[in-house]
Amino acid sequence: MKPTRYLFLTFAILSGCAVIKPNPTQRIGFEAPEAYPEGIAYDSVNSAYYVSSARLGNIGKVSVNGVYSTLHMDTTLKSSYGMKIHPDGKRLFVCISDANYSKYTSPATRKKMARLISIDLATGRRLSDTDLSGLLPGKHFANDLTFDAQGNAYITDSFAHAIYKVTADGKASVFAKDKSFETEGVGLNGIVYHPAGFLVVDNSNTGQLYKIDIANPLSVRKIKTDQFFLGADGLLLQDANTLVMVVNGGTDKIYKLETEDNWTSARLAATTLIADRFTYPATATRKMNEIWVMNARFSELPDSNSVPSKNFDIQKAVFKPIPKPKK
Amino acid sequence: MNNKCLSFTLALYLGSITSVYAQRGLPPREKTKSVSITNYAQALDFLPEMVNLLKVPEGWEVKIAASGLGKPRMLYNGPNGSIYITRRDAGDVLMLKDPDMDGKFADLVTVLSDFKGVHGITMKDNWLYLANNHEVRRYPVNTDGRLGAMQLLINDLPDGGQHPNRTIGFGPDGMLYISVGSECNDCKESDKELATMLQVDPKTWKRTIFASGLRNTIGFDFHPQTGELWGIDNGGDAKGSNWPPEEVNHITKGGHYGWPYAYGKREVDQSREDPAGEIKEEVVKNTMPSVLELTAHMAPIAFTFFGNAGNIPSAYAGDGLVAWHGSWNAKKPVGFKVQRIKFENGQAVGTEDFLTGFLKGNARFGRPAGIVVNPKGIVYVSDDANGVIYAIKRKN
């Protein structure tokens, strides 16, 4: 083994040993009993985080000091998931479904309902409510969304294995559907729009990422990586060549992927550590040059002995770079 | 009435009101003392370069076949060089394929989700059999490896308690064997199917107890030449750092393998109550001793024979592999490796390290759990701590 490799490995082991004690990075704790927030979006104008709720279906607002208030509540929403602030900065778009943990689940909506709603940030009123469940047969889970430069929204459906498009004037259609998206369980999940004119989407249960041309959505290509990312959840495009990916499902880390070929392939460039103790991290948002992550605590929900949590944390992702392997 | 008469009458009276079942034993006279240590080897973050820290025997090489898999656990060979993986934490089953046969799995799909705690896996006649703590199910396998509609075979296995990780396998006799671990560390179980090897008739799906007194024999397999059943049993905890041994057992019909009263070659656990109306030493005389006794607390998970796989040296014919998950209650961490169990004339005779290097001081970057040998002679080992599948094969 080359000397540089030995040095690197020694460093890796030693630094691993040094931070073996649980050592979570900076957290903003807030009290929102039973919320189990999955989605997050930072509002730089109002200096606040918006968080969704997989158990209650509401949307909350968290100040940077951790004070929680309800922005929008409606138990018929069942569960709220991924969310993004519209480029106009005035509206919050939220994925609504009844996929798993809603307290208000019902046979009529369970794995059937899929909606995209928008909320006025100033008043908390619902401005639009687009039904996505009729576009394809079978089960539905509207999971996450992104906007392109024209204000079109693209939404992942984890159970129908498709991406929907909702135009700025509210028209919904199936944008992309590919055999490679199909899997049992939760499939397509996080999604981002790349300014070069394509979408990047991940898939929790295939552990892979895909690139879809906006101009030609039949062109779906798997992004080549050296490893799988089972449990891949929220995505955030940090810059043209850097993607932040939140991974839960037993891994509970935040990764940075980098590309040198416009997302034909990508490598793992940086990671958070086991010691950071992310607690089922689900989605990420940007605050200036920092990445903040919503710890959804979903691991507690299938565990029948737990009483519902009252407190949740937004946690800062501090990345440790991974040196490039020598060819 | 004199005292003798009184005590005799009292004994008769008490004897008549004792309930017929749930008999308790008498307290043992011996006092015991043991020091129970917990020492959990710390989790190291995984980097692909760490594969260079692993050691395999001369003539073999180890590579990463897939990573980023969360907590992959038990493995089984699928069609065309694919493998199936159960993940008990996620309650799902993965299928991995290597279409260009370059040794790395490039394709992955989840073939089953929502089977909470799914663990044991086996295949027969194009059916995929799966087990969790209560259920055994089977699914028809389609040509693409994905699964058809579920058929529920058994849904009333006893509660898992401490050891819910059922494993299953078909014997050369065509019967389905299920390993059902104990509910507790060292108690007297109330359900007679706990701490047993069950035998299921696939014509009726009715079952009988094949062997008992097996605390948690997750890894078991049938010797390729003799057809005999061998299993590795997890010994009890909180009885000291060096005892009891992990057992290599030849499991035979009607055998009682000692738990909770004895481990190894009939070494009595003096801390236990006597069985009702009996003493431990007498009961233990009729139990089966283990064939090999190995370091305490290493925690055996998968065990498999090399079987009839290709590209395996003749010296390994008839040998097996065991995954030692690694200790949490030994003074210094032990296990965290895969060992070959050597057999001569169908008898287990010794062990030899096969895949080591996961343990670095008091920290580890992997915990071997599942093992499968594919028909081409590639040994796949799952690490359910850092989500990696390692491939060990003969160097060209």
* B161 in contact with A, Cβ within 8 Å: no
Q: What is the 3-state secondary structure (H, E, C) of B182-246?
A: CCCCCCCCCCCCCCEEEEEECCCCEEEEEEECCCCCCEEEECCCCCCEEEEECCCCCCCCCCCCE
CA distance B300 to B370: 10
pLDDT in tens, A185-233: 999 999 999 999 999 999 999 999 999 999 999 999 999 999 999 999 9
pLDDT band at residue A8 under the 50/70/90 scheme:
low
Question: 3-state DSSP call for residue B294?
Answer: strand
pLDDT in tens, B139-197: 999 999 999 999 999 999 999 899 999 999 999 999 999 999 999 999 989 899 999 99
pLDDT over 60 (residue A244): yes
Q: Identify the pLDDT of residue B7.
A: 54
pLDDT over 60 (residue A10): no
Q: Identify the pLDDT of residue B2.
A: 60
pLDDT over 80 (residue A100): yes
Domain ranges of chain A: 27-321
Question: What angle is formed at CA B54 by the lines to CA B84 and CA B394, rounded to 5 degrees?
Answer: 65
Structure tokens at B62: 């180890």
pLDDT over 60 (residue B19): no
pLDDT over 90 (residue B47): yes
Contacts of A186 in chain B (CB under 8 A): 113
Contact between A36 and A53 under an 8 Å Cβ cutoff? The reply is: yes
CATH of A27-321, one of 2.120.10.30, 2.40.50.140, 2.60.40.1150, 3.30.300.210: 2.120.10.30
* B49 in contact with A, Cβ within 8 Å: yes
Q: B368: which residues sit within 8 A by CB, 6+ positions away?
A: B301, B323, B324, B325, B336, B337, B338, B355, B358, B381, B382, B383
Q: State CA A68 to chain mean position distance.
A: 21
Mean pLDDT in residue range B216-231: 98
Mean pLDDT in residue range A297-316: 91
Q: Taking the CA atoms of A121, A123, A128 and A131 in sequence, report the sign of the dihedral they define.
A: positive
Mean pLDDT in residue range B372-387: 97
Q: Closest Cα to residue A237, out of A295, A270, A194, A282? A: A194
ipTM of the complex: 0.93
CA distance A61 to A39: 12
For A273, which residue in chain B has the nearest alpha carbon?
B45
Residues 228-287 of B with CB under 8 A from A: none
pLDDT in tens, B61-113: 999 999 999 999 999 999 999 999 999 999 999 999 999 988 899 999 999 99
Nearest Cα of chain A lies from the Cα of B220 at a distance, in angstroms, of 27
CA distance B82 to B94: 10
CA distance B365 to A20: 12
Q: Identify the pLDDT of residue A250.
A: 87
Exposed/middle/buried for A134, CB within 10 Å: 0-12, 13-18, 19+?
A: exposed
CA distance B19 to B27: 18
Q: Identify the pLDDT of residue A18.
A: 46
Q: Closest Cα to residue A42, out of A318, A293, A291, A285? A: A285
Domains annotated for chain B, with CATH where assigned, are 37-334+364-394 (2.120.10.30)
Q: A40: which residues sit within 8 A by CB, 6+ positions away?
A: A49, A50, A51, A52, A83, A234, A282, A283, A284, A285, A292, A293, A294, A314
Phi/psi for B208 (5° steps) reads: -135, 165
Q: Identify the pLDDT of residue B34.
A: 87
Nearest Cα of chain A lies from the Cα of B42 at a distance, in angstroms, of 7
pLDDT in tens, B262-294: 999 999 999 999 988 889 999 999 999 999 999
Q: Identify the pLDDT of residue B130.
A: 98
> In the block, which residue shows the tokens 């104008």?
A45
For A181, which residue in chain B has the nearest alpha carbon?
B109
> In chain A, what percentage of residues exceed pLDDT 70?
94
Contacts of A185 in chain B (CB under 8 A): 92, 110, 113-114
Q: Identify the pLDDT of residue A23.
A: 86
CA distance B72 to B84: 10
Computed over every residue of chain B, the mean pLDDT equals: 94
Question: 3-state DSSP call for residue B386?
Answer: coil
pLDDT in tens, A116-157: 999 999 999 999 999 999 999 999 999 999 999 999 999 999
pTM more than 0.90: yes
pLDDT over 80 (residue B8): no
pLDDT over 90 (residue B355): yes
CA distance A96 to A207: 23
Q: Identify the pLDDT of residue B29.
A: 85
pLDDT over 60 (residue A94): yes
Cβ distance of A250 and B42 shorter than 8 Å: no
Cβ distance of B49 and A228 shorter than 8 Å: no
* B94 in contact with A, Cβ within 8 Å: yes
pLDDT over 60 (residue B340): yes
Question: What angle is formed at CA B31 by the lines to CA B26 and CA B33, rounded to 5 degrees?
Answer: 130
Q: Identify the pLDDT of residue A19.
A: 45
Q: Taking the CA atoms of B301, B306, B310 and B313 in sequence, report the sign of the dihedral they define.
A: positive
The 10 Å CB-count burial string (b at 16+, else e) for B2-30 is: eeeeeeeeeeeeeeeeeeeeeeebeebee
pLDDT over 60 (residue A162): yes
Q: Identify the pLDDT of residue B293.
A: 98
Contact between A226 and A258 under an 8 Å Cβ cutoff? The reply is: no
Residues 361-380 of B with CB under 8 A from A: 361, 363, 365
Q: Closest Cα to residue A30, out of A14, A48, A43? A: A48
* B63 in contact with A, Cβ within 8 Å: no
Of the partner residues A8, A183, A228, the one whose CB lies closest to the CB of residue B68? A228
